[in-house]
Amino acid sequence: MGDLTKNFSKSEFACPCCGLDDIDLKLVENLQLLRNKIGVPIIIHRGGGCRCQSYSERVSIVPNTSLHNIRNGCKAADCHAVDMSDKTLKRFAKELDQFLNGGIGSYYWGLHLDVRGHRARW
């Protein structure tokens, strides 16, 4: 059981270098809706939630614009679903109204999902 929603806890979104865990609750609630829809766990990658400025500078291509960054509200999560292809998870995410005005991006390691306030796909 999670301490933010039924299935998600603050610790899953914490910055790996400092423990910053000020994740945007709208993102977590949307991830919970996605989890409810697919019926399998969604795994948040280590360093794939909140990122302090220092960690963001080390891992982000453009750290000052990253939606993982505390400066930008920690509005993003990098994740994958247990026993589900990333392609299928992306399809389910695109079906949710909650991610219509957010970002959904595919990478070799999984999906980036965010609540940026406008639609972005890659």
Q: Where are the domains of the chain?
A: 10-121
Given strand 103-107, what is the order of strands in its sheet? Answer: 42-44, 76-81, 110-114, 103-107, 120-121
Quote the pTM value: 0.94
Q: Which two tokens stand for residue 43?
A: 């795994």
Which pLDDT score is estimated for 98?
A: 85
Which pLDDT score is estimated for 61?
A: 78
Give burial (CB, 10 Å; 0-12/13-18/19+) of 102. Answer: buried
Percent of the chain with pLDDT over 70: 100
Q: Where are the alpha helices (DSSP H) in the chain?
A: 10-13, 25-38, 53-59, 86-95
Looking at the domain 10-121, which fold is it? Muramoyl-pentapeptide Carboxypeptidase; domain 2 (3.30.1380)
Which pLDDT score is estimated for 64?
A: 83
Give the mean model confidence (pLDDT) for residues 59-82: 91
